[in-house]
């Protein structure tokens, strides 16, 4: 096992993304375990703080709000922030500019997208297919959207989707990466199957955006949503985003028509007329403080390709599984994350009988992952700031705790 630290050192020396790590605020030496300090493997829940964000937020508060006040809607670009920041996210999910608008929560955007998808599908289609293994909120929203639109809800696993599609299918809501296991679902083939049935494909990108190539435009995805506080490092509660494929924008009928999405927002007209383009995904006044914190956070992506991020992600998770196999007692944990690269996101989930207590001890020793009921240890790998030395140390401490 002594060769693993040396291998980690060699991999870190060859890491083309190693320089990005310095753009984040990360832990220093832990009092509990000096050689396992600052191993943050929970970026799939909340990304680390980019170092440039505090200064930018202070400027927003002190100067833009404190001095310019209402003038900042124009002079500081507050009014155009939702689409401007959307255009910065677009390359990370494989979308051209003008198709993403930032604002509201993921849940709200799932609701907008799913009801909008049913309306796009048209008359005669009265069934919504939803990923039965989805993050709970997506399921709750899908159930409500079905009641609101008079549709039947059909929960199935992603593998079962092609077999249940038909001429009644209006919309299909799927997660790109399973939040529990880290399984990466086949977005291209599933989207193609949905389209072959004449239905509308809606994808939740919360656990893939910023971790791997998505290819929204390339694969003809209709609508997509995602959060920005995981791999995009936008901060707790940072606003989500909504993608509306350009060819569908003039027909997208949002169930939440707010004044911010009106063609003439300051006309204060009684009748609603939607704005052109992705702007019709806006609703009310944007949350400027968190939105501009997100904009600052996205600076860390300057000069970084999502393909390089994906390559490192796979190398990190491969190395973690290798180290766990070496350090953990035999039979003590079992990986539920697929081994095949084409089926793996950017996390590793390990099944462990006493997972809750194990994670508490790991955190006490400076290795931060998270626990999912009833028996899953989740470790998220954010390639922008996680190194191979981190991975080796985390697996070594896990082995000690499990022993």
Residue positions annotated with a catalytic role: 135, 204, 229-230, 378
Count the helix, strand and coil residues of the chain and give each as a percent rounded to the nearest 5.
45, 15, 40
- Could you give the angle at the alpha carbon of 342 between the alpha carbons of 176 and 171, nearest 5°? 30
Give me the half-sphere count of Cα atoms (radius 13 Å) on the Cβ side of residue 324.
Answer: 21
| DSSP 8-state code for residue 47 | P
Residues 210 and 232: beta-carbon distance below 8 Å: yes
- In the chain the first and final C-alpha atoms are separated, in Å, by 16
Q: CB 45: neighbour CB atoms within 10 A?
A: 17
Tokens of 88: 């910065």
CA 4 from centroid of its chain's CA atoms: 31
Q: CB 267: neighbour CB atoms within 10 A?
A: 11
Residues with Cβ within 8 Å of residue 67, at least 6 apart in sequence: none
Q: CB 204: neighbour CB atoms within 10 A?
A: 27
Tokens of 367: 């290795």
Question: What is the distance between the alpha carbons of residues 317 and 205, in angstroms, rounded to a whole number?
Answer: 19
Question: What is the distance between the alpha carbons of residues 339 and 97, in angstroms, rounded to a whole number?
Answer: 34
| DSSP 8-state code for residue 222 | -
Beta strands at 347-351 and 376-380: parallel, antiparallel or unpaired: antiparallel
Residues 307 and 213: beta-carbon distance below 8 Å: yes
| DSSP 8-state code for residue 278 | G
């Amino acid at each position: 096992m002594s060769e693993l630290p040396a291998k980690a050192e060699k991999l870190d020396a060859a890491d083309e993304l190693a320089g990005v790590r310095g753009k984040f605020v990360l832990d220093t030496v832990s009092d509990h375990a000096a050689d396992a300090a600052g191993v943050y493997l929970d970026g799939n829940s909340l990304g680390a703080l980019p170092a440039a964000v505090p200064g930018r937020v202070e400027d927003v508060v002190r100067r833009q709000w404190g001095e310019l006040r209402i003038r900042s809607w124009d002079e500081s670009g507050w009014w155009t922030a939702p689409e401007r920041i959307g255009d910065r996210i677009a390359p990370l999910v494989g979308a051209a500019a003008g198709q993403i608008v930032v604002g509201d929560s993921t849940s709200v955007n799932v609701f907008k997208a799913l009801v909008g998808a049913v309306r796009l599908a048209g008359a005669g289609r009265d069934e919504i297919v939803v990923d039965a293994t989805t993050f709970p909120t997506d399921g709750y929203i899908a159930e409500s959207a079905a009641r609101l639109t008079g549709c039947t809800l059909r929960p199935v696993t992603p593998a079962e989707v092609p077999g249940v599609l038909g001429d009644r299918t209006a919309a299909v809501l799927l997660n790109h990466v399973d939040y529990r296991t880290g399984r990466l679902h086949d977005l291209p083939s599933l989207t193609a199957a949905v389209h072959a049935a004449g239905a509308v494909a809606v994808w939740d990108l919360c656990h893939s955006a910023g971790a791997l190539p998505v290819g929204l435009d390339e694969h003809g995805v209709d609508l997509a949503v995602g959060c920005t506080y995981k791999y995009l490092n936008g901060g707790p509660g940072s606003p989500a985003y909504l993608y509306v494929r350009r060819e569908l924008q003039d027909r997208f009928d949002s169930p939440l028509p707010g004044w911010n999405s009106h063609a003439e927002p300051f006309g204060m007209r009684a009748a609603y007329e939607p704005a052109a383009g992705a702007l019709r995904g806006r609703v009310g006044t944007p949350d400027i403080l968190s939105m501009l914190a997100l904009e600052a956070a996205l600076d860390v992506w300057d000069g970084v390709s999502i393909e390089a991020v994906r390559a490192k992600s796979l190398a990190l998770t491969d190395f973690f599984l290798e180290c766990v196999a070496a350090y953990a007692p035999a039979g003590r944990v079992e990986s539920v994350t697929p081994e095949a690269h084409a089926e793996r996101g950017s996390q590793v989930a390990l099944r462990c009988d006493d997972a809750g207590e194990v994670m508490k001890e790991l955190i006490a020793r400076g290795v931060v992952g998270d626990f999912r009921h009833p028996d899953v240890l989740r470790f998220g790998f954010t390639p922008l700031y996680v190194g191979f030395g981190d991975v080796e140390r985390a697996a070594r401490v896990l082995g000690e705790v499990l022993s």
